[in-house]
Structure 1
Amino acid sequence: MDVAGRTLAGLALRRHRAPSGRVYAALRRGALTWPDPSELALDDDVMARLWADSARLAGVPDGTGGGLEGY
């Protein structure tokens, strides 16, 4: 398995823990890093458009989460 696969598995299995206050992980040159999210990632308008596009692609008619609000 390559570095990216091992790192993803480690994140999923909670072998890698985010430092306090960090939620965004990135693999840079084979090393797991915890950078600040980009401005784009923090933009609520972009998030809403992405959610609506994803809902449309998944067949959720209203784009409000399709019952996933509690997760």
Structure 2
Amino acid sequence: MEVKIGVQHAPREIVLESGLSAEELEGIVAEALSGTAPLLSLTDVKGRKVLVPSDRLAYVDLGEPTQRKVGFGAL
């Protein structure tokens, strides 16, 4: 699942590919936004960990996984 995280006062968003389902990700984000967790902590499919302070979250966009295109056909 593709996750885009907007951080306040940052010019670019953080984009990562997570192996978690949409429901699991929504629960983690809800904990961070409710104040029970001081950090939004996510791990991508390559094992890299992303930590964002909960009070700096601008938005979190949960999208569909990106499909890799193979070949030289028309898009």
- Place the TM-score, normalised by the shorter chain, in its bin: under 0.3
Higher helix proportion (structure 1 or 2): 1
Q: TM-score, normalised by structure 2?
A: 0.26
Q: How high is the TM-score relative to the length of structure 1?
A: 0.27
